Structure 1
Amino acid sequence: MESQTQYKAVALIVGVTGMVGVSLAEALNKPTALGSPWKVYGVARRPKPSWFPSSTLHRYISFDACNFDETYHHLSSISNEVTHVFWVALQIGETEMVNVSVNSLMLNNVLKVLTISPTSALKHVALQTGTKHYMGPIFEDMTQVSKIVPGVDPPFPEDSARLPGLNFYYALEDILISYAPKLTWSVHRSSIIIGASSRSIYNTLLTLAVYAAICRYEGTPFRYPGTRFTWEHFCDMSDSSLLADQQIWATVSDKAKNEAFNCTNGDVFMWKNVWKFLCEVFDVKYEPLDDEIEFDFAGEMKKKGSVWDEIVEKKGLEKTKIEEITSPEALKAVMQFGFQHVCSMNKSREYGFFGYVDTYKSIRMWVDRLREMKIIPTI
């Protein structure tokens, strides 16, 4: 059997096929990774996709974490190895009550199995959440998104008081806190995440890429699906590799234990400028925002399933369905906020994490990666 002594730490990435999960697997395998060398296990509900970088994992494990018996069957044998859990999994239901129930169940099942044995090796859990922490369950009523007022003025600081009402991010944080002092934890609140995966629920860049590919294929305008406010005001993003780096940093930094951190690229942008850039990247004609045109983006995207099927077939892409890889309702919601969606990165820097990413370079890099993975077509 392989000696465990060659590894300083053993990671379990729950949600490994999502954008940040893929980035974590790749980052932990770098010789320069903090805490290296790492042994890396990856967990996902579905079988491994063809584009997944298999060499980044010691083992790919597929099971439903909502089922305790399945969770025990697959994880109990490595509970004496796993030292760090990276929780980047989520399931989204129709209500926040469902979100709280399902996501809490998954986290509770995994942590219970990994800690139930007296030989448990688990030390730290890194939990990824997001800016919904500051805004509440924004996607429950899409018609009211533009009327949302966040609980604190942006840029959002991590010490903001929790908002009233249900929020599954709060529930997951409370589960981690309940394990202290047996375990330490860190929380990582992302903005709009961009990365490369066909298995992330909220994948803004992939939604835009599919939309652009359809517009190019049909010769239709690449219209902005948001409002004048978001077109002309600041927003930020989170590169999935940067999120991975911050989570790894927090697992090995004593100062970062039991703390929550925002994680964004460190710059801000206006959608009107990014839209021009996206037109260049996707080779579509630039269409400035026209307030006079009514545009039901989500409704139009729902009609394009057969068009996407044609593109997939003609371009020899990974077999995907448009409803599985895009989130037009979520994208439109973000582009209809009545406030500037910006996070403070002060705390992260004060505690010693100085990572940053140029958002424009990040977009181009991840588009290239999605093309290499044959998830979207090349120009």
Structure 2
Amino acid sequence: MDQATVTPVALIVGVTGMAGVAITEALKKPTALGGPWTVYGVSRRPLPTWFPSSLLNQHIELDTLNQQQTHKLISPLASQITHVFWVALQVNESEEINISLNSTMLSNVLNALTSSSDSKLSHVTLQTGTKQYMGPIFDPILSTQLVPRDSPYIEEYPRLPFPNFYYDLEDILASYSKSFTYSIHRASMIMGASTRSYYNLLLTLAVYALICKHENYPFRYMGNKYTWEHFWDVSDARLLAEQQIWASVTNKAKNEAFNCTNGDMFTWKTIWKVLCDVFEVEFVPFDEKEKFDFMEFMKDKGQVWDRIVEENGLYKTKMEDITCFGGMEMVLKIEIQHVCSMNKSREFGFYGYANTLKSVPEWVQRLRKMKILP
């Protein structure tokens, strides 16, 4: 792409999620690679009050599952949009349904952008994740049969012999290879700031910690001894944004898949201590002899969260909408070291990293500023 002649115009699909917020902010920085950028954002619902809406040149409220609506609202922009940042997600327990929903959304948007002769689309970034290497861990039937790849996970690993909507989305992008380039970004669990993300690890832990503090309960670990003591990684949303922008303007990175994690490792025991400091709750060491039914404990705590929101004048949220207790408990009971290799990224020239133990308090601070947490 000749930067001199084409002003880059980004369409962020899933703009109100953790990665969407981070990409919006990163593209509008004066130092953004390939900029200055014009930024359009798509979300299913109106923008929440905490969203930095002044950074968007245009917001489009759209359900991308609706083909006619998508064509009507997106195809008129085909002559402007040069880059798509795909951070949208539909989640269902059944992986077959995930494949159908997510493939439909991506196809609807790409068809709307490429069907006209004056289409300017040159690159699409697709955010997926480490289910690439683990398989459909949330599918009640398939999850019992999985044998994940050895960690650290590397991008060259062949696909697992299970349905996985990530594979289908990659194949959809590859089928357009004559029209535009693409890059795949495989995140671990994401840390960022939003009330609109389906798997929001930090907000889930924060809500749990604050409920324990409010009601004087011990802040106990809901995982197993293995994850408490073994290595794990996460992805800072700012790093995801940085890598996606880098790949979208770097020729060498075109049509490649990259892991995107902070580049460091931690044990959950260490993270637990950081959370205890941040939320001023007492550290309780994990004891596998003590039976703790986390889901049972949380199931009637919605009213406690309502009181915390009310007492602190927070942005109105419902506990069920902003947490993923079941998913988190399940993930923290897996007996694998969840670590990705960032070597490929570095070999291709991306050196971004984040210090996980520092980013936890930073994101909590950000959620407090947004009036999502007290």
Q: TM-score, normalised by structure 2?
A: 0.97
Q: Is the Cα contact below 8 Å between 1:43 and 1:62 reproduced in 2?
A: yes
CA spacing shift, 1:31–1:352, aligned 2, 3 Å: same
Alpha-carbon separation, structure 1, partners of 2:85 and 2:350:
18
What one-letter code is carried by the residue in structure 1 that aligns with 2:188?
Answer: S
Corresponding residue to 1:344 among 341, 346, 351 = 341
- Structure 2 gap segments, 5+ residues each: none
CA contact (8 A) 1:7 1:38 kept: no
User: 1:326 aligned to 2:323?
Assistant: yes
Q: Which residue of the partner structure matches residue 304 of structure 1?
A: 301
For 2:179, the equivalent position in structure 1 comes to 182
Q: How does 1:1-379 map to 2 (within 5 A)?
A: 8-141=7-140, 150-377=147-374
3-state DSSP of counterpart to 1:234: coil
Residues 313-369 of structure 1, C-alpha deviation per residue, up to 9 Å, x if partnerless? 111111111110000111112211111000000100000000001001111110000
Secondary structure at 1:220 match in 2: coil
**1:143 Cα deviation (Å)?**
11
Kindly state the Cα deviation for residue 138 of structure 1 after the two structures are TM-superposed: 0.3
Contact 1:128/1:189 (8 A) holds in 2: yes
Pairwise CA distance, 1:165: 1.9
Instruction: Give the CA deviation at 1:151.
Output: 3.4
User: For each residue in 1:89-124, what CA deviation from the matched residue of structure 2 results, as whole angstroms up to 9, or x when unmatched?
Assistant: 000013001100000000000000000000010011
One-letter code of the match for 1:228? K
User: For residues 154 and 110 of structure 1, what CA distance do their matches in structure 2 show?
Assistant: 34
- Residue 193 of structure 2 aligns to a residue in which SS? coil
| Residues 155 and 343 in structure 1, CA contact (< 8 A), matched pair in contact too | yes
Task: Tell whether the 8 Å contact from 1:7 to 1:37 is kept in structure 2 after alignment.
Answer: no
For residues 225 and 247 of structure 1, the distance between their equivalents in structure 2, rounded to whole angstroms, comes to 33
User: What 5-or-longer segments of structure 1 have no aligned partner?
Assistant: none
Over aligned residue pairs, what C-alpha RMSD do you find? 1.6
Counterpart code for 2:183: S
Query: Whole-Å Cα distance in 1 between the matches of residues 333 and 124 of structure 2?
Result: 34
Q: Could you say what secondary structure the match of 1:269 adopts?
A: coil
Task: Assess if the C-alpha contact under 8 Å between 1:125 and 1:186 holds in 2.
Answer: yes
Q: How many residues align?
A: 372
CA contact (8 A) 1:13 1:40 kept: yes
Give per-residue Cα distances to partners, 1:71-93, cap 9 Å, x unaligned: 01211221100000000000001
Task: Report if aligned partners of 2:201, 2:328 keep a CA contact under 8 Å in 1.
Answer: yes
Between the aligned partners of 2:343 and 2:9, the Cα distance in structure 1 is 30
* Matched AA of 2:126: L
Deviation at 1:144, TM superposition (A): 6.1
Q: State the shift of 1:167 in Å.
A: 0.3
Amino acid at match of 1:60: H
Contact in 2 for aligned 1:14/1:88 (Cα 8 Å):
yes
Give the partner amino acid of 1:83. T
Tell me the SS of whatever aligns to 2:10: strand
SS in 1 for 2:373: coil
Q: Distance in 2 between matches of 1:264 and 1:31?
A: 24
Task: Give the residue type in structure 2 aligned to 1:192.
Answer: M
Q: Deviations over 1:143-189 (max 9, x none)?
A: 967xx764321000001010112100001000000001211000000
CA contact (8 A) 1:228 1:289 kept: yes
- Residues of 2 paired with 1:249 and 1:109: CA distance? 26
> Residues 368 and 181 from structure 1, CA distance in 2 versus in 1: closer, same or farther, beyond 3 angstroms?
same
> Conserved in 2, the CA contact under 8 Å of 1:142 and 1:329?
no
Native 8 Å contact 1:100 1:168 kept in 2:
yes
CA distance in 1, matches of 2:41, 2:361: 27
Q: Is the Cα contact below 8 Å between 1:104 and 1:171 reproduced in 2?
A: yes
Look up the equivalent residue of 1:211 and give its one-letter code. Y
Contact kept? 2:295, 2:325, Cα under 8 Å: yes
SS at match of 1:23: helix
Identity %: 59
Calculate the TM-score normalised by the size of structure 1: 0.96
